[in-house]
Chains A and B, each alone.
Chain A
Amino acid sequence: MNLLWLLIFWTMQASASVFFKYGSTSDARWLPCFIGGNIIGASSIWFLMLLYKTMNPNVAMGLGAGGGFLVAQIALAVVFHSQLSFLQYGGLLAITAGMFFLSMGGNVAQERGVSDVREPERGKGAWRGDGKGTVLP
């Protein structure tokens, strides 16, 4: 499911960015697009939080924010026909490479600390973030 949440998050981030830019093109569109973009942008965090439930927070945020920024930039360039400089293409490449390293670069994806996840006692359930208990044998 994580891939689906990630795709929805990226799509909503890109939509919000296009709304904000579209709103800036005329006075009549300003307020509706400002409100619409903010509703979509704020709501998209819901899906980032779903990723946080099962993924390492650094990986989730890196993939979410990096990919969201990347997709939003591409959407703006395509929809509004903006041209990117050589340096900006370098930036696109760096973000893509960074996301690749982040997702493929390690298998240590554990987090501990402030959470409701407690050491489960034998035979008792511990909340796992998905509303279902994990019951040890």
Chain B
Amino acid sequence: MNVLWLVLFWAMQVIASLLFKYGSTSPARWLPSFIGGNLFGVSSIWFVMMLYRTMNANVAWGLGLGGGFLFAQIALALVFRSRLSFLQYGGLVAITGGMVLLTMGGAGH
């Protein structure tokens, strides 16, 4: 089941990110997208809590955060057709790796 919770969390994070960007494209969409995106974002934590029940919390949060960030970036690039340089894609990978390292690399919490 853990894979399912993780995929659901990532999916909700992606939807939230897309809504936030979509809301920024017109004043009429601003508030509904802000509220909708936050609803998805806050609700997604439910699935992380499901992961916490059976997984190490650091590993769960590292996978959730790193994966959510990466998939949200890919979704934003695809849906809004943004173009980045090779170096910028490298930057995104470095940020994702850094998030995972920082979350999972603890000696103990």
Contacts and interface: CB of A to CB of B under 8 A. Distances in A.
Chain B associates with chain A: yes
A83 to B, nearest CB: 8
A39 to B, nearest CB: 11
B46 interface: no
Nearest to B22: A114
Contacts of B9: none
B73 A131 contact: no
A102 B88 contact: yes
Interface string B34-48: 100110011000000
Contacts of A108: 83-85
A47 to B, nearest CB: 11
A123 interface: no
Contacts of A95: 94-95, 98-99, 102
Interface in A34-73: 38, 42, 45-46, 48-50, 52-53, 56-59, 61-62, 65-66, 69-70, 73
Contacts of B17: 61
Interface of B: 17, 20-27, 29-30, 33-34, 37-38, 41-42, 65, 69, 72-73, 76-77, 79-88, 90-107, 109
Q: Please give me the 9 A-B residue pairs with the lowest Cβ-Cβ distance, nearest first.
A: A106-B85, A87-B105, A105-B87, A98-B94, A101-B91, A91-B101, A94-B98, A91-B102, A95-B98
30 contacts: A42-B38, A49-B23, A49-B24, A59-B88, A61-B69, A61-B72, A61-B73, A62-B73, A69-B102, A85-B105, A86-B105, A87-B101, A90-B98, A91-B100, A91-B105, A94-B94, A94-B97, A98-B90, A99-B91, A100-B91, A101-B94, A102-B91, A103-B91, A105-B87, A105-B88, A105-B90, A105-B91, A106-B85, A108-B84, A127-B26
